[in-house]
Amino acid sequence: MSLTEDVKLEILAYTLKNALEHEGKPLSQAILGKIIANHPQLKANISAIKMLIDDTVKYVLTLSLEQQQREYEKYSDYILDFKPNGGEKSNVLPELPNRPPVVVTRFAPNPDGPIHIGNLRAAVLSYSYARMYKGKFILRLEDTDPKVKPPMLSAYEWIKQDLIWLGLDWDEFYIQSDRIELYYEYALKLTDKGDAYVCECSPEKFKSYRLLGKSCPHRARTDSVSLLQKMISGLVEEGKAVLRLKTSMEDPNPALRDPPLLRIVNTNITPHPRVGAKYRVFPLYNFSAAVDDSLMGITLILRGKEHLTNSIIQGKIQEKLGLIKPMSVEFGRLNLEGYILSKSKIKNSLRSHEFLSDWPTMNDGWDDPRLATIMSLRRRGIQPQALVELMLEVGPKPIDASISWDNLAAINRRIIEPIAKRFFAVLNPQKLIVKGIPNGNPFISARIKVHPSRPELGERRIELPLQDGCASIMVAQSDLEGLPKIVRLMDLFNIEIQSLSEGGAVGYYKSKDVEEAKRNRYSIIQWVPTTDSVNMVMYKAVGLNLEKHIGVIESSITHEPVGSVIQLVRIGYARIDASRESNNGSIRVVFTHD
């Protein structure tokens, strides 16, 4: 991130906040820490950041406490505090000044792919404000672009499934491809009033007119209504004409100069996945959204600030049609560091087999753990509450926000830690024969709490068969480095591992005394019985790489249902993704986070 105006205002906001917390005297180092925590990528520009903070501190020191308070109230929206580990969560959104008396919001994604963490913010905020003000939340799928951003038939259901899983239930549901003829009605009405015209310029030709601020020669034509009807009837070829809104060709913003409203798509070549070749003229985003927002009674729109120009165009359409214009709140962009959020880039990666692996996808690759789609985060074991809470923490602030995986993992960890059952598992397992165990019984038992701080969940019992004082267990290959050495087998006894050969490692019983292990600081390692274990495959996303780990896990895991999030001791949290019956005899888990 460069030193944008947003970053400069964020620095000012934090400086004012810090000043008010320290009797009017801000601390530069604390402000620097906040900015780098929110935007780690700015470390590369840290000298410029320090200089800007120092200049801002000098300015704030010239203000009285009262002036600092007034300035802070103006810029407090730029404060971006993540508090994933601290205290109780209020999750209270800021009040919206001048809000409409009846709040009706909408979430309107294009079903050209599933929801991802980038557009989740609009969904959560729209739903939450509707519920906060006892209003209505509408889900609308905007699928009127069968060529450039063609809808995916499966994505219609994916979006609904994701929202249901997140707990964002809608009050009304619409699909725009069911409303094409309604858009024709309003397009003809607009054209008949003289507020729209059919343009037959090539895209390149009209672009030159727009940049020069010069009117297209078709702007003054009087036959636009009949030409539009011919377009709708399929008598005009794709690319030969578009319907444009009459604005001002001298507008300072070229994007506002006679924007397009409807265009022709040859659906015999690129059919729409739902309506096929029934229609050949489709509304562009601004026209269909403007009409629907008014007719559906939307009173409050929450969307990214990249839609500011669209908001103006939609307002002009609504004004010319005599429709009510909703209130609009624009927030900053949201980026999850290290992840691809662009659906077109994800599509290209999936299409080019860039993510080629033996990942057992259930949704055409969109659930790959390396992606930031909601379905991939769900398969990783991220909880819906964590995603919603993160979006509420970011809120509707206008500043661009860059969050790290650690932000999300910290919130998710707090949610799953009290409920995740513990299990022993070892990756890259090696056999270890322990000799000299002083026990006359045919087996030795380890009784281990299911959860260290929740005794009500009970214990699990691991039985280790003995033969002539010897036991066979599996341990991680990484735990057999640096031999000989003394370790404690977790919840069992202390052993000295002496040697490692092709057939495995050999160790000798030392004592059962846990105090001895603490006193001598023995490493504590997890283990699994050789004969009472289940094969395990673990998928782990590391950036844009996907690792596949082979291991074994204690057999009591078979009692846990698919979908459960567990903690693999000394490995991390994971979600059970498939039972051994459905996965060739191996439990499949997906690593969540540490």
Query: Do 129 and 160 sit in the same domain of this protein?
Result: yes
Q: What is the pLDDT along the chain (594 residues), one digit of tens a residue?
A: 346 777 888 899 899 988 988 888 988 888 887 787 677 667 777 888 888 999 999 999 999 988 998 888 888 877 765 443 333 444 578 999 899 999 999 999 999 999 999 899 999 999 999 999 999 999 999 999 999 999 999 999 999 999 999 999 999 999 999 999 999 999 999 999 999 999 999 999 999 999 999 999 999 999 999 999 999 999 999 999 999 999 999 999 999 999 999 999 999 999 999 999 999 999 999 999 999 999 999 999 999 999 999 999 999 999 999 999 999 999 988 888 877 777 777 777 777 666 656 788 888 889 999 999 999 999 999 999 999 999 999 999 888 888 888 889 999 999 999 999 999 999 999 999 999 999 778 889 899 999 998 899 899 999 999 999 999 999 999 999 988 999 999 999 999 999 988 888 999 999 999 999 999 999 999 999 999 899 999 999 998 889 999 999 999 999 999 999 999 999 999 999 999 988 889 999 999 999
Query: Do 140 and 61 sit in the same domain of this protein?
Result: no
- DSSP letter at 557 equals G
Query: Do 347 and 464 sit in the same domain of this protein?
Result: no
Q: How many CA atoms lie within 13 A of 537 on its CB side?
A: 17
**Which contacts (CB < 8 Å, 24+ apart) does range 220-226 have?**
221/197, 223/198, 224/191, 224/196, 224/197, 224/198, 225/188, 225/191, 225/192
The amino acid sitting at 510 is K
For CA atoms 281, 286, 292, 294, the dihedral sign is negative
Does residue 570 belong to any structural domain of this protein? Answer: yes
**Which contacts (CB < 8 Å, 24+ apart) does range 342-348 have?**
343/112, 343/113, 343/116, 344/149, 346/113, 346/116, 346/371, 346/373, 347/112, 347/113
For CA atoms 314, 315, 321, 325, the dihedral sign is positive
- Structural domain tally of the chain? 5
pTM: 0.83
Supply the pLDDT for residue 3: 64
Q: Which domain holds residue 554?
A: 533-593
Quickly tell me which residue has 């969540």 as its tokens: 592
Supply the pLDDT for residue 91: 58
Domain limit, last residue, from 388, 416, 444: 416
Query: Do 506 and 545 sit in the same domain of this protein?
Result: no
Query: Do 222 and 286 sit in the same domain of this protein?
Result: yes
Domain limit, last residue, from 304, 331, 358: 331
The Cα 367–Cα 374 span in angstroms is 8
Query: Do 378 and 410 sit in the same domain of this protein?
Result: yes
Residue 561's CB is within 10 A of a number of other CB atoms, namely: 7
Rounded to 10 degrees, the C-alpha dihedral 555/558/559/560 comes to 120
Does residue 93 belong to any structural domain of this protein? Answer: no
Does residue 542 belong to any structural domain of this protein? Answer: yes
Write the CATH number for 190: 3.40.50.620
What are the helix (H) ranges across 417-547?
514-519
Does residue 505 belong to any structural domain of this protein? Answer: yes
Query: Do 307 and 364 sit in the same domain of this protein?
Result: no
Which class for 292: exposed (0-12), middle (13-18), buried (19 or more C-beta within 10 A)? buried
Does residue 95 belong to any structural domain of this protein? Answer: no
Contact between residue 463 and residue 450 where contact means Cβ atoms under 8 Å apart: no
Does residue 87 belong to any structural domain of this protein? Answer: no
The Cα 424–Cα 568 span in angstroms is 6
Query: Do 234 and 315 sit in the same domain of this protein?
Result: yes
Query: Do 344 and 400 sit in the same domain of this protein?
Result: yes
Q: Return the percent helix, strand and coil in the chain, to nearest 5.
A: 40, 25, 35
Query: Do 263 and 117 sit in the same domain of this protein?
Result: yes
What are the helix (H) ranges across 400-447?
405-416
Does residue 94 belong to any structural domain of this protein? Answer: no
Helices (H) and strands (E) in the chain — how many of each?
16, 27
Query: Do 215 and 264 sit in the same domain of this protein?
Result: yes
Query: Do 224 and 268 sit in the same domain of this protein?
Result: yes
- DSSP letter at 200 equals -
Supply the pLDDT for residue 88: 42
Tokens matching residue 205: 């030709």
Does residue 83 belong to any structural domain of this protein? Answer: no
The Cα 368–Cα 541 span in angstroms is 9
- DSSP letter at 575 equals E
Contacts with 470 (C-beta within 8 Å, 6 or more apart), sequence order:
433, 434, 435, 436, 437
Write the CATH number for 460: 2.40.240.10
Q: What is the DSSP string of 275-323?
A: TBTS-SEEE-HHHHHHHHHHHTT--EEEEEGGGHHHHHHHHHHHHHHTP
The Cα 371–Cα 340 span in angstroms is 7
Residue among 74, 106, 6 at smallest CA distance from 334: 6
Contact between residue 241 and residue 227 where contact means Cβ atoms under 8 Å apart: yes
Residue among 554, 553, 556, 575 at smallest CA distance from 564: 575
Write the CATH number for 567: 2.40.240.100
Write the CATH number for 387: 1.10.1160.10
Supply the pLDDT for residue 441: 82
Beta bridge partners of 525: 489
